[in-house]
Every structure is written in structure tokens, then in C-alpha cells.
Amino acid sequence: MENDLKGRNKSWVEISKRALFHNVGVFRKSVGKNVKIAAVVKANAYGHGLKEVVPLLKNKVDVLAVDNIDEGMLIRQIDKQIPVLILGYTTLANLSDPIENDISFVVYNIESLKKIVSLKLKKPAKIHLKIETGLNRQGVQRKYLPVFLKFLKEHKNNFMLEGIYTHYANIEDTLDPSFAVKQLAEFNKSLKIVREGGFNPPLIHTAASAGTLLYSETHFSMVRVGFGMYGWWMSLETRVSLLALKRNLVLKPVLTWKSLIAQIKHIDIGESVGYGQTWFATRRTKIAIIPVGYSDGYDRKLSNIGRVIINGHYANVIGRVAMNMIVADITDIKNVKLEDEVALLGNKDGLKVSADEIAKKIGTINYEVVSRINPLLPRIIV
């Protein structure tokens, strides 16, 4: 089946089951047995393929976290039992869906609570209150928390306060944890208010991948592991901080994005390649046409600066990246044949094109590089 999928597709993404399990093990060891792990599979599992990754994680993690109800319902098609948590906004019109499908979700607007009561559903809503501690995105500010708790008490049959949490603004891309410490202190003040108000939510969580690895005081009863679980480092600062703690942890990239060679040809000195004639041959040049482009998520800013792996060698991308095509210089690579594999991102033949390398070239972060890979491309478990 794997070879058949490769043979029928111009571009595909390979997902290493062994690497994924290794990374989950790294985080499990970091938190111990008594802390739950919520695996974040939003944005098509950060480009790795939600439908492919979820079955692999089923017996490896405790909760699956997504951004929206559509992702939650996709998981429910795959598995009816595994706990699912929506971290993003659920519109008022969609509030009945997570309740009826046993999906937990975040609430931070009083209007959402009022709408849930008005639905008069037979099941209580399993909610997580998100606390605003300094990121200043979605979340309940501490001064308004008593209003939410009062409403929940007045309508206790409509709600199960399953969780309370926050998210850090500056914990992964800095060597200075002082702002995260302030946020943690703010969160603990809110947590005290919740407990004094008569609530004891079982799922208390503040840490994402970097916090999970660096600061045990952020663990509470659950951590949210996303990007790191797929084998990508959140930042250079996170790695440096771990090394300073004498913890040389190894994360293994789960994803390799591949294509193939659709044509091989020679061009003469002075001939150009691609739209806009941005590259000219200074020698007789052998080129490979690769049927992948920016519509697939291969960024146009990689024009003339990207590189791919072909037959154990790096090959430079020449000319502009088009919607469905790139061109590579293979003049110095021997024995290249039609439909030979090309690694666009990931490890192959002992070489590596990392998400960090691509991110640096195009002026973004590694998160964006992998999460933008077209979800229509097939994902293959290897």
C-alpha cells in the first residue's frame, strides 16, 4: 500500500511511527506517571496529518487537543472514546456539537455560558476556563473570574468544570523565564479563587512543549505537547536552556516531505529557468523538474535559495518556485533517473533539510513551515 501511494502521487509526506513514539516517550519521562499528556493535533497535526497521527497516539497519550469543532468531529469519526479538548473558539451556533459528542472545550465569554444554558441539553458541557495571565489573547481576566464562577454555580447542572488553564507568552524563545514566572504566579492566584469558590477541576494545565521540558512547576495535572512531539525544537533558546541544565534530550523529526523527478533535461550557457528569468546558466546545466510548488506549501521565497536532497546529494533550487513546480540543478549528481525520489524537507540518505533551515531562509518560524504543507497531500505511515 505504501509503495502504491508513492507511485500514484507526485508529492507525499512520510510519517515515522518510531520517531513519534520516541518523542512521546521523551515527554512522558519528563512529566512522570501522574501527569496527563494532551497531544496537540490542531492544524492537521501541525502538517503531519490528523487522520494518520490520531490512531497512532490513541494509546500513547491521555487527551487529544484541537483548535476547533471541525477537527474535534474528525477525531470522533476515528475514535468515539478518547478525550478531546478544543483549545480555540467555539462559535455560539456550534456550542451544541461538542456537548452532544462528548468533546471538552474552552470557555472565556459569559455569552457562551448563557448560550449553553439556553440550549437545554440533557448532557452537561465539559468546559475548561482559560485564564488570562499576560499573553492577552483569549482568556478570562482574574477580576472577572468570580462572575464566571457564580454563573457556573447557579447553573451547576449545565456544566462540568473539567479544567482550568493558561498559556505562556514568552517561555520558549528566551533564556529569561521572568515573565513566565509572573504568569505562573498570576495563574496560581486565579486557581486559588476557583478552589475557594468550591470548584476542584481535575485538569489543570499551563505547560506547552517548552514548559514541559524546562519547568516542572508548570506541569500541574496535565501538559499540552504539540510541536515538540513531532520532533521539532520549539526554539534554539529551549535547547540551550536544556543543555544548561545538563539535559541533552533528543527529539526525532517525524515528517519527511518528498516528491519525485518529472523530467530531466540539459540547458546551455545563457539560458534562463523559470518565470521572470531570475536564474541564468553559467555552464551547460542538467536540471530536474520537480512537480511541487507553493500551492503545496513549498514557499515561493525559496526561489533560488532552497535546496533538496536527490540521490544522496544536495541540489539547489534554481529559478522561481511556481504554483506547482520547482527546478533543481543536478549537474554534479550522477545516475539521476526519471521519478527518483526528492526530499524537500526532512532526512534522507544521511542528509537533512530541516524546518529550521527553511524557516531561516524565508523569514519565519519552523512551526509555519510544516503546518502549511497542503493537507490534500497524502500522508504515509512508515
Q: Is 42 a catalytic residue?
A: yes
Catalytic residue among 153, 189, 265, 275: 275
Dihedral sign (CA 22, 27, 29, 34): negative
The torsion angles phi and psi of 343, rounded to 5 degrees, stand at -95, 120
Tell me the one-letter amino acid at 305: I
Catalytic residue among 36, 42, 130, 258: 42
Rounded to whole angstroms, the Cα distance separating 110 from 113 reads 5
The C-alpha cell that represents 277 in the structure block: 528569468
Dihedral sign (CA 171, 175, 179, 181): positive
What is the DSSP track for 232-260? --S-HHHHHHHHHTT--------EEEEEE
Give which of 297, 271, 317 is closest to 367, Cα–Cα.
297
The C-alpha cell that represents 356 in the structure block: 529550521
Q: Tell me the sheet residues that pair with 204.
A: 164
Give which of 108, 62, 64, 71 is closest to 89, Cα–Cα.
108
The C-alpha cell that represents 296 in the structure block: 503545496
What is the DSSP track for 70-82? HHHHHHHHH-SSS
Tell me the one-letter amino acid at 281: A
Residues tagged active-site: 42, 275
